[in-house]
Amino acid sequence: MSSLVLLDEISPGIGLLTLNRPDKLNALSRDMLVQLQARLDEVETNSEIKVLILTGAGGKAFAAGADIAGYKGRREREFMDFQFAGRRFNDRLEAFPKPTIAAINGYALGGGFEIALCCDLLVVSTSARLGLPEGLLGLSPGGGGTQRLLRSVGRHCAADLLLTAWRMKGERAYEVGLASALCDPDDLLSVAKGKAEAMLKVAPLALTEMKRLIRLGEDASLPAALSFEQEVLFRLYCSDDGQEGIDAFLEKRQPQFKGK
């Protein structure tokens, strides 16, 4: 099996996961999903990688969605299995304990956009085009796109993207708060790396816990979310990292966090 997903450590603490099917605009296939799961296994068990950047090879696309050729012929079982596999990967990526950044040049459509929506931050270039155009195929998103987009940008912006099959430009994604940074295509990885380097300065336990607060707080009532927030704070205060951070601040030095 060829390497459809590449994993490199581009600087200390920062991993780069690259969808590597540029001749097909990094379209998602069953084999790619299998390799994506395996790469996440590697990153999760690699204590040297603290932050993960996801991008697409070739510069023309992050991922232009699923490989539609595989949909032909009303093969219901195969189609459903592929959709379930995509959802399993997306759910895992969203819940991944380490911070994730989607670095998007060119197309992030359909399943590719769904993967990006599972990341903690999106960095987009001016060449980025994001959307869920499944309606043009007589279909709808199936990897969480409708629900994650709704929670990211609200009902009316989500409806615009979904019901008109509109492809949102990078500039607009930044304007509506979907992307945290907008840059020239040539600067994409350096900007994403800058975000990752900022994350490396934050205590790793705090990073993991704040990721969970963001994810779980979306669907919790405000009183429940506030109680969860305080419970997290109390545990972090009692951690070695929490006390190290306080001591370093008072002693006017850089903290030495150890993740415990």
Active-site position among 134, 175, 209, 218: 134
Instruction: List Cα–Cα distances, 165 to 68, 115, 137, in angstroms.
Output: 17, 18, 10
Nearest Cα to Cα of residue 107 among 191, 36, 195, 21: 21
Taking the C-alpha atoms of residue 82 and residue 252, their distance in angstroms, rounded to an integer, is 53
Catalytic residue among 42, 48, 94, 114: 114
Establish whether 42 is a catalytic residue: no
Euclidean distance between CA atoms 250 and 241, whole angstroms:
14
Q: What are phi and psi of 211, to 5 degrees?
A: -60, -45
At 241, the amino acid letter reads: D
Instruction: Report the 10 Å Cβ neighbour count for 125.
Output: 24
CA distance linking residue 40 with residue 32, whole number of Å: 12
Contacts of 127 (CB under 8 A, 6+ apart): 105, 106, 170, 185
Instruction: Indicate the helix (H) or strand (E) that contains 160.
Output: helix 155-164
Q: Is 197 among the catalytic positions?
A: no
Judge whether 35 and 5 are in contact, CB under 8 Å.
yes
Active-site residue list = 114, 134
